[in-house]
Amino acid sequence: MCLLLLAEMAQAAPRRAAGTRNLLVVMVDGVRWQEVFMGAEAALMERRTGGVADPHALRTQFWREDPAERRRALMPFLWSVVARQGQIFGNRALAAEVYLTNGLNISYPSYSETLCGVADPRVDSNDKKPNPNVNVLEWLNRQPDFRGKVAAFAAWDRFPYILNAERAGMLVNAGYEPLRVAPQTPALRLLNRLKSETEVWPAEPLDALTFHTALEYFRLHRPRVLFLGLGEPDEWAHSGRYDLYLKSLLRADHYVRELWELVQGTPGYRGATALVLATDHGRGESPENWREHGRRIPESRSTWLAFLGPNIEALGERKQREALPQARVAATIAALLGLDFAGSVGAAAPPIPDLLAK
């Protein structure tokens, strides 16, 4: 009986992905699964439907007759590296849906569901209110091996509230807030100045400023867990600019490649780091509502996920599987590091069961 109990406990406990010591989590706001899996949509590459300034130039850059080539033109790193060496979930055309359960399909509740592992009805708006739920980054920062080695950088100024930075006690740099950590290198001083001198949207700067701030911090401080939240695709979609939405998504893919290549060239990280890619919510499916998302657009609950790293089987694009709740991401992040978030935070959903190699 004791041996049987021990065997069951071992089977239930998370397994560390072999060699995984560090983690990158990148979330890109408001990216539809349609573009991720099928590339640019022809019906939206027009002035009337997509607010496109130069339809011919946009089609030249992104349109390909073959959907596989089209999606590779839009997200080359995702489809040339992650899809070949890792796993991607969320192609509804292949019966592999990833979905939100909060019913609101807006950013704060959806980031909270993703990073806390639960859809909490108390989190019901994008207001600047501290999240009552413990998120997986905060939880990791409490673990002895990761204390002081978790950092989050995000474009949207709600992230200090989503991650409850005051309670979490970890670095969360978001919005136009300057990064004041030492040493203040020339690069950091310039990035801080550019944040103060540029404003396109009131709640977040251009992704380039957020990304390069995170990159400089990584070079200086080598965190074990780094979160990066990019926001331009959602902003350009709300503005009805399909051309700028596509270009910002391509740029986000380049940023992920640059971050991954930096990590793979860094001793202690090379071959020992996993990557998690996600979005917070989807968008409408038609030319009339592709700009928007929320409770009134139920299809905006559909999202996507991608994973790359040691001992993540190279299964590529997943298909014909049970629909995957996005709430499983939080526990999966911890499980990649061999830790049990769901077991510690009882309300959290369990990790994705078939991600790691056996």
pTM above 0.85, yes or no: yes
CB distance 115 to 131 below 8 Å:
no
CB distance 151 to 217 below 8 Å:
yes
Question: Is pLDDT of 1 > 50?
Answer: no
What would the mean pLDDT of 325-350 be, rounded to a whole number? Answer: 96
What would the mean pLDDT of 132-149 be, rounded to a whole number? Answer: 98
What would the mean pLDDT of 9-28 be, rounded to a whole number? Answer: 72
Reading phi first (left if > 0) and then psi (alpha if -120 to 50, else beta), residue 299 is in alpha
What would the mean pLDDT of 144-159 be, rounded to a whole number? Answer: 98
- Which of the four pLDDT bands, split at 50, 70 and 90, describes residue 321? confident
3 state SS of 69: helix
Four-residue CA torsion sign, 208, 211, 217, 220: negative
Between 350 and 2, name the one with better pLDDT: 350
CA nearest neighbour of 279 among 89, 82, 23, 12: 89
3 state SS of 227: strand
- Name the token pair of 38: 């099928």
Reading phi first (left if > 0) and then psi (alpha if -120 to 50, else beta), residue 82 is in alpha
pLDDT digits (tens, 9 = 90+) for 154-210: 999 999 999 999 999 999 999 999 999 999 999 999 999 999 999 999 999 999 999
**Domain spans of the chain, in order of start:** 22-344
pLDDT digits (tens, 9 = 90+) for 210-220: 999 999 999 99
3 state SS of 39: coil
Task: List b or e across 152-179, with b for residues whose CB sees 16 or more CB atoms inside 10 angstroms.
Answer: bbbbbbbbbbbbbbeebebbbbbbbeeb
Compute the residue count for the chain.
358
- Which of the four pLDDT bands, split at 50, 70 and 90, describes residue 293? very high
Choose the most confident range, by mean pLDDT, from 13-17, 285-289, 317-321. Answer: 285-289
Third-level CATH fold of 22-344: Alkaline Phosphatase, subunit A (3.40.720)
